Structure 1
Amino acid sequence: MAAGTGLRARKRAQTRHALHESAVELFLARGFDDVTVAEIAEDANVALTTLFTYYPDGKVALVFEQDEDRAAALVDAVRERPAGTDPLRAVETFMASRLPFEPQDPRRERLLGLIFSTPQLRAHVRKKWTDCEDALVKVLAEEGHEPEDAAVRALARLVLESPDIAARESAPGEALAMIFANLRRGWRYD
């Protein structure tokens, strides 16, 4: 939490985090389908209406604490990349900072098992990435390519499918790096 953040914002962040943590712990203990949103709200000591205020998409969204406009954040990562960094490296770095590549969560392996064994969760994760296609095409077009170019759209689509592909590997971070190395070679960003 940034210094100077107001009490209200800190309380909102704490409530959101508490809901996420309760949901993940219950899902890991009992399985996604065997936990209700009412049980999650009770475990987090909040009203059910509060749960839906923070997570209007319900159970599926509770697994993923990050509350961001992913497309905007992805575009910012490309536009605000360090000088000399190619756009694909900026996207790779952005992706590597999110589950399943972020190694800091000790529950990562169990959480990935939950996600890949629960069709709704896997679909949600993929959709969060693939919904960024138009934004990624636009920002790649800013690099001197035509946005209507099928090659740019194909690159964007391949890039946005890479987290789903890499996450299934035993070393997701290494798999993501290998995918991007191949994409950069093929796209001549290497």
Structure 2
Amino acid sequence: MPGLLATADLVEAQAALAAAEAGPSGTPSVAVPTVPPTSTPLAPAASVDRVKQADADFEAAQAAVTEQTTLADASEQFNSAVVALEMAWLRLFADAGCLTDDQQVQAEAAVSSYTFALQQDLATAGYYAGTVDGVTGPVTVQAIEDLQEANGLPVTGTVDKATAAALQAELVALGGAAAQESLTSTAAVQ
């Protein structure tokens, strides 16, 4: 990539020099070589689109906060948008090869462990009926949305502090063992 940038800079400089040498007539006295653009995307378009969508959602969440918005609602909207944006950027970095193999393995393991524990907790609370596999998919997102709706939270499909607290409260209500198991799983992931 640095070679392409250097080549593009060289071509631009040669064109500027030729224009300066040509003077007012506009006819260059030196032939300027052209290099056709050869850009290969570093990441899939879907990853870039995911970041753009998450950024738009983040801006919308910010714009939706007014003086009439309660602090709890503003926090939930803002936090869920921030988490989604952060995850989209991490995926883009990984897809673009910006992470070392070790960093990518660590990031994927952390996300998978967190998702696995979340799916277990959602299943214990009665919201998740899919396979507990550590992969966030439509069934996981639907379970989060169902939890949020049942607890009067903004339905975002992402876990923010209020959603995590609601899930923890439901686990406590189900019994000490489920809550203790959840705390152990969460602590292990963190």
The TM-score bracket by the shorter chain reads: under 0.3
With structure 1 as the length reference, what TM-score do the two structures score?
A: 0.25
State TM-score, norm by structure 2: 0.25
Q: Which protein has the larger Cα radius of gyration, Structure 1 or Structure 2?
A: 2
